[in-house]
Structure formats: C-alpha cells, structure tokens
Amino acid sequence: MRAFVLLSLCASLALASPAAAEQVPVSDIEIKLSYAPVVRKSAPAVVNIYASWVTERHASPFANDPFFSQFFEGFGQTMPRVENSLGSGVIVDPAGIVVSNYHVVQEATDIRVVLADRREFDGEVLLSDREADIAVIRLDQAEDLPALAFADSEAAEVGDLVLAIGNPFGVGQTVSSGIVSATARTGAATRQRSGYFIQTDAPINPGNSGGALVDMSGQLLGLNTSILTRSGGSNGIGFAIPANLVAQYVEQAKAGRDSFARVWSGISVQQVDAGLAQALGQAVPAGVLVSEMHPESPFAAAGLQAGDVILSVDGLAVHAGDALEYRLLTLGAGAVATIELLRDGKNETASVVLSEAPGDEAEPVRIEGRSPLAGLIVADITPQLIDQLDLSVGASGLIVLRAGGASARLGLRTGDIVVRLNGEEIADAAQFKALIERGARVWDMQLARSGRLLRLRVRN
C-alpha cells in the first residue's frame, strides 16, 4: 500500500506543470520524495580540504633500528619529503570556523579550503586532537559563509534518515543517503582504541573523512571519520563522531584554547555483563562497575566508591567505559553531572563537579653518570600523566618517559613503572636519583610493565 501511494505521488508530480515540478516540497510527504531541499540547505557548508606537511626521511636504512642505529650514528642525511592529504570539512560558523578530522590535517604546514561555490581560503588549525580525530580550523579573512547548525546527536534514533556529504576519492562533492544503523558504537566495535560513534550505512569512502552526516533538518548530526572495509571502499559500515562532542571542541577553540581540556574521571570501570548483573541483583545488565578509583578523582570527592555501579549521567544511560567518557566529555570541565548509581542494591544519585586532571605537569628528571641506568628520563606519576599516557588510575611512583644510552641496552622502555630499586620502594624521582648517585656494585630493579612485574639485575 505504501509503495502504491509513493508511486501515485511520483506519477502526479511527473504529470504536473513545469512550475509545479520545480516547487520546493513543504510537507513531510513531499520531502520524502526527494532529498534535494536538505542538500540545498546543507551542501554549501561542506568543503574540500587540501593539506600538506613536510616529513623527514632517513637515508640510512638502520636509522630507526634500536640496535644498529648506534653503529651508524651520523651516517646518512635526513631527506625532507612533502606529504599531502585530501579530505572534507564542515563550516559550523559563518565567521569561517571549520571542523574536520585530525587525520586529514595532521601537523599540516599548509591548508587550503575550497568551498562548494569554488571560493578558496587559507586555513589555520586552532585546536586538534589526535585521540578524538577532531580538528578545528579557522579560515583566513572569511565572513558570512554558509554554515550548519549542530543537531542534538543524543536525539538520533536507529532508522533515522541521514545524508553523508563529502569528496570521496577526490571526484568532487558527493551526496549519499542511508540511515542511522546504530547510535552507541564504541572504539572496540570500530577497531579503534577508543571513541563513541554513530554508525551509518550511507556510503562513505576515502575523501569523505571530515565531511558531514546531516539529518533531515539539514543539521550536522556527526562528522564522518572512518569505515570498516576489506576492499578499501564502502561496505555500508561507516562511523561518525557525534555532533555533541564536536560542538565541545568548537566551543573550546572559540574560547582560545589550542588543546582540548579533557574531563578526567579518575576511575576505572568494567561493563556489567550477565554474570555480574546476577551478582548485583539486576534483572537486566545495566551500567558500569567502578573497579578502581584515584584518591583525587572528582567521583571520589562526590562520595562514590569502588563497587558502585554507574547507571547514567544526566539521565543518559551508560553501558560501557567509552560511553561514560563520552558523556563526561560532552558536558565539559566545570559542569556538574548528575550521576545515578546502584549501591548495595539501592539506587542513589550524586553530583560530580567535572574537572581536568589536577596538579602540575610532571617535571622530567634525566639520569646521568656512569651507572647502567644512565640515559633514563623519568618523572613522578601524577593525575595528568595518568590521563595523558592512559595509565591505570592506581598507578603511582615513577615512570620512564624515555630510555636511552646504557638504560636502553638493558631493555628498559618508555612506560615502564619503577617499583623498587636495591630493595627500596620508589616514591618519586628525587629518591630514585639520589639512590643512583649513591652508587652500587649490583643494581636490582623491579618494574611494572603492561600489568606484569619484571626484575632486572645487573652489575656495575
């Protein structure tokens, strides 16, 4: 019956006068016959981005080898090479603010942005984030540009119609249609380390990165970022960064920040599965269990504790660690989040004041001299380092930032946590350096690496 009605409407339009055929659809039924009104509204705000940067290529084949490079030090020269990328972007402010993917612009030294009407502008990156794959760009001497408003990505539902607009394979601006296939895909599902995405079957191909995923109101629902594919082309599984998160980056860039202020939870969580739900007395698995908490966590300050189950943030359900992080990021530092939690079988609420990781940046300490540990660069583990290096929230003591010289030959690596040295538990870099300066005939060190404890013993 539905197909018959649509065919009848199409036939009516075909028999109508030319003037009637050119009339802009105004009703829901009419607009479903064509995406053209949505495209006319949104496509002018989608741009092509041409970026280039210079990389250094080593002439020596052993230049990056951790062992052989020491024998070829100074051999060969680095050769500069210009690399280019082509992608898409979306104008979100008439004053010339454009959002795109980090992997489109990376560390570009030259950015050229071409609008749908063929105007060209130089671009400058205001703020970028490799982890979130977001870049905010300002166009030089731009004003009164077509721009897309942000949709509320939390309102998106599976089955909603969407359009993907970008420049696939460099062929020119292209529009493809599809639906929202899923609304809460985490990094694990998309084969990325982290993240929280809208999934769509609207065809997305290389060059679409940074382009717009728009809803039927012509608003920006998401920023197209990646696909799952075996051939390199679209298989109908594409992912977009939700607009609510992109909006946070734009807001911070406009405020003058050149790096994103990430909210730090200071907790480790695990997803509640069927077995855990049964132990917790839940009829249906829901939420994430707080398994570990840093003493300076804002959740600890709000009274939460290990063993609590976080069910929602500001009324929005949380079913995975990535989902929790996403909810906090979209609220931003300084916001007060209402947390619904389960404790001892009872539902409770708490107000958490969100903030960045507290404390100053750790001061690197270089170990010098004639000891086997010479060449190490270490630092005290602070909440900021825990956040930046994605360490366990329970990490404490001393971390290796870089291993060089004699220490590298012993097998020490960046990210190793020094637990003990010569029988003494290490609390900070000052203590560690003092022990080394005291000297020893035999060095006995205990390290934590990737969750395992290692022991290193060497004679001086």
Q: CA nearest 202: which of 230, 218, 222? A: 222
Q: Annotated catalytic residue: which of 209, 226, 297, 407?
A: 209
SS3 content of the chain, % helix, strand, coil (to 5): 20, 35, 40
What is the rounded CA–CA span in Å between residue 330 and residue 183? 15
Q: Among candidates 45, 323, 5, which has minimal Cα distance to 166?
A: 45
332 to each of 182, 237, 254, 260, 336, how far by Cα in Å? Answer: 24, 29, 14, 10, 9
Distance (Å, whole) CA 5 – CA 419: 73
Q: What residue spans of 151-262 are helical by DSSP H?
A: 243-254
159 phi, psi to nearest 5 deg: 105, -15
Is the distance from CB of 39 to CB of 162 less than 8 angstroms? no
**CA neighbor of 105 nearest in space, from 126, 120, 81:** 126
* β 220-227/212-214 pair status: antiparallel
For the chain, what is the radius of gyration of the CA atoms?
27
Quick one: tokens of 50?
Answer: 């041409």
Residues in the chain: 460
Instruction: Say whether 133 is catalytic.
Output: yes
Nearest in space to 385 (alpha carbons), one of 406, 354, 359:
359
Locate the DSSP E strands across 187-308: 196-200, 212-214, 220-227, 238-242, 267-271, 288-293
Task: Please count the other Cβ atoms lying within 10 Å of the Cβ belonging to residue 141.
Answer: 7
DSSP-derived letter for residue 333 is T
Task: Write out the two tokens for 376.
Answer: 């190490």
- Which element (helix H / strand E) includes 54? strand 46-58
- In degrees rounded to 5, what are phi and psi of residue 293? -145, 130
How would you class 81 by CB atoms within 10 Å of its CB: exposed for 0-12, middle for 13-18, buried for 19 or more?
exposed
Q: Is 407 a catalytic residue?
A: no
**C-alpha dihedral sign at 188, 189, 191, 196:** negative
Beta carbons of 318 and 327 less than 8 angstroms apart: yes
Catalytic residue among 60, 103, 122, 428: 103
Among residues 42, 100, 133, 407, the one annotated as catalytic is 133
Return the amino acid letter for 37. Answer: P
CA geometry: angle at 297 spanning 292 and 337, to 5°? 110
Q: Which residues are catalytic?
A: 103, 133, 209
